[in-house]
Structure 1
Amino acid sequence: MSDLNCGSGGGATTYPQLRVASVFIILIGSISGALFPVLAKRTNWLHVPKPVFDFAKFFGSGVIIATAFIHLLSPAISELGSPCLSPAWQLYPYPLALAMLSIFSIFIVELVAFRWGTTKLAALGVKPDTHGHGFGGHAAHGPEGGSLPDNDSLQCEKIHEDLESAHNHTRLDLGAAGQIIGVFILEFGVLLHSILIGLTLAVDPGFKILFVVIIFHQTFEGLGIGTRLAHLQLPPKYKHVTICAALLYGITTPLGIAVGLGVKSTYNPGSSTASIVSGVLDSLSAGILLYTGLVELIAHEFIFNEEMITGSNGRVAYAISCMLFGCGVMALLGRWA
């Protein structure tokens, strides 16, 4: 991707005005891709048919998986295999090991979080199949003779209603927390990747081709992120999380470009330090997106989704086709970036 030497010289300085304009152009594309699905889901004036949302959702899953393999893991292997690095880096497949480490780290974090949530619910007496039956139920309706409930029965029913309301609210909060953790993990992997893309674009000699490809890359990836955010089932007090996450994605690559332009006289993406930093971050990000794409998206949307298990063959085939299309488009972009 770059013909820069292994020294500490600066990056390319061609097309200075277009490089500055790229900050705003990519900002618009990234925010539009990530924010549009969220707003369309929450507002009536941006009504989008459900089939369109389904297409975007499964298309986005494919985009995320292709990003992990083609746009993260492959560059990480090249970066940590750079001839600019010491021979010690060639003695072990560090990119694959770091990606594996990232996958298991995310798995352990999620496992601990959900075990803690389950324990918390159990301590409060909340179970998935509990709907309050049997707690003062018969007494609340009085004897079989149909007499009116007494004061003790009314008080018991009131206590039961208060407890069930508190339990349901706690369950809702913990469910929302689990979803927010999942979004945070996905966003973290994508944001690391987006910053590196911005830094590279700011100083890369092959700017024009890379610029066009990254516009599509960030828009498609934003669409995948935004659609996932739009489908989160969060309580009203957590609704702002989706907007903030979409905006955070939108500003990350432009921020990386701006930083790259600021340090273009000293930042050399082909240097040893830059190769190590980029390779390590790309490897970790690849593991995050692989775990999210394969477990959180594919497994939950297909294998553990009742609609897919009992749905028609046509619906399942359509969903898989959308996912493969998104994966194919993003993989194709890897030809140039």
Structure 2
Amino acid sequence: MSDDALNCGAGGGSDTHFHLRAASPVIILICSVSGAMFPVLAKRSSWLNVPKPVFEFAKYFGSGVIIATAFIHLLSPAIDELGSPCLSPAWQVYPYALALSLLSIFSIFIVELVAFRWGTAKLTALNMEHDAHGHGVGSVAAHGPEGNDQRGLEQTNGDRNYEKKNMDDVESLQVVRNMDDNAAAQIIGVMILEFGVVLHSVLIGLTLAVNENFIVLFVVIIFHQTFEGLGLGSRLAVIQLPPKYHYVPIVAALLYGLTTPIGIAAGLGVRTTYNPDSTKASIVSGVLDALSSGILIYTGLVELLAHEFLFNKEMINGSNGKLAYALSCMLFGCGIMALLGRWA
């Protein structure tokens, strides 16, 4: 079958409903930013007064959304794109999409492992303890050197108070240093999560701008971007950063909101030449989707699922009702996002 019959060539994106297509970047920008910013602002603002159960719902719902996005909205399309009949037979002899996703998973794991070993060694040199499965700054407990000198038992109260003050000063300095290191680690984690989501959002925008089934896809993507934004925002809201880094979650949420409209605008600009089913487009989007799926699979299963449930003492020792509520929220988010995969 020729390339023309398969629609493998460049150009020829749909141009129907052009006025709505032109307005779609603004509409989706509002929905995306609203979904991503709401959890961040709700966590910081007292005037919103969001009940804790509602915020917890958003957090666990968001974990489910991210996991479903990885498998249904990234890995599955990557398999289809890299298995397109427009590609040469060499692409059909090996599951490249799965291999690239696997490569992405192990790359993120190795980077995090090296960073963790380096950070642990640094904390050990500072006589500080670190909880490997903790969350945020609170997972690090600073303590002073524990000497065995019995002469300390004979010190006067004044000497003890003087020593305690010096120890407190040392511990405070160590905590400040560790907060900066911990903040850097969390910011890197946010960047990794954002990278996977952002690539996906740009590709969605490009596809929407030229897809012939625009109306159906447009409605689905509005919900898709809102839910995905809620998932990302709920994770951004719970990271613990020093005051000087308070802007990071807001910038990350705004960046997420801008990516799909940018993709739509780019798609509209090249609608006469860009074909999402072309050979080059299939390869580029397939590779990026596969790599992004690995990022979100690792983040969703390890950083979110495992840390929120298996390694979270509050969840392990909490009531059955609390555990059931958290699981229900997560499964609901996963189910809704998986259902949207029926259309987009």
- The TM-score bracket by the shorter chain reads over 0.9
Verify: 1:169 aligned to 2:170, yes or no.
no
Amino acid corresponding to residue 119 of structure 1 in structure 2: A
Q: Deviations over 1:71-119 (max 9, x none)?
A: 1111111101111000000000000000000000010111111112112
Following superposition, the deviation at residue 335 of structure 1 comes to 0.7
Measured in 2, the distance between the counterparts of 1:4 and 1:24 equals: 33
Mapped partners of 1:111, 1:20: distance in 2: 45
Amino acid at match of 1:242: P
For 1:141-290, list aligned pairs within 5 A. 143-144=155-156, 146=157, 148-149=158-159, 154=162, 159-290=166-297
Displacement of 1:190 in angstroms is: 0.3
Residue 22 (structure 2) pairs with residue 20 (structure 1):
yes
Aligned to 2:112: 110
SS in 2 for 1:127: strand
- Residue identity in the other structure for 2:199: L
Q: Deviations 1:246-279 (Å, cap 9, x if unpaired)?
A: 1010101001101111111111101000000010
1:321 corresponds to = 328
> What amino acid is the match of 1:11?
G
Give the Cα separation in 2 of the matches to 1:17 and 1:119: 58
The 8 Å contact of residues 195 and 255 in structure 1, kept in 2 or not, is answered as yes
Partner Cα separation in structure 2 for residue 54 and residue 183 of structure 1: 19
2-side partners of 1:37 and 1:19: how far apart? 29
Q: Match of 2:80?
A: 78
- Report the equivalent of 1:131: 143
Distance 1:109 1:203 in 2: 37
Deviation at 1:163, TM superposition (A): 2.0
Do the aligned partners of residues 93 and 140 (structure 1) sit closer, same or farther apart at CA in structure 2, a change above 3 Å counting? same
How big is the shift at 1:137? Answer: 11
Contact 2:86–2:279 under 8 Å retained in 1: yes
Note if contact 1:114-1:178 (Cα within 8 Å) is conserved in structure 2.
no
Report the equivalent of 2:314.
307
Give 5+ residue unaligned stretches, structure 2: 131-140
Query: Contact 1:81/1:89 (CA < 8 Å) preserved in 2?
Result: yes
CA shift for structure 1 position 226: 0.4
- Alpha-carbon displacement from aligned partner over 1:179-232 (angstroms, at most 9, x marks no partner): 212211111100010000000001111100000000000000000100111111
Identity %: 70
The 1:310/1:8 distance shift into structure 2, 3 A limit, reads same
Q: Which residue of 2 aligns with 1:64?
A: 66
- CA distance change for structure 1 residues 18 and 127 in 2, over 3 Å: closer, same or farther? same
Which sections of structure 1, spanning at least 5 residues, go unmatched?
none
TM-score calculated relative to the size of structure 1: 0.93
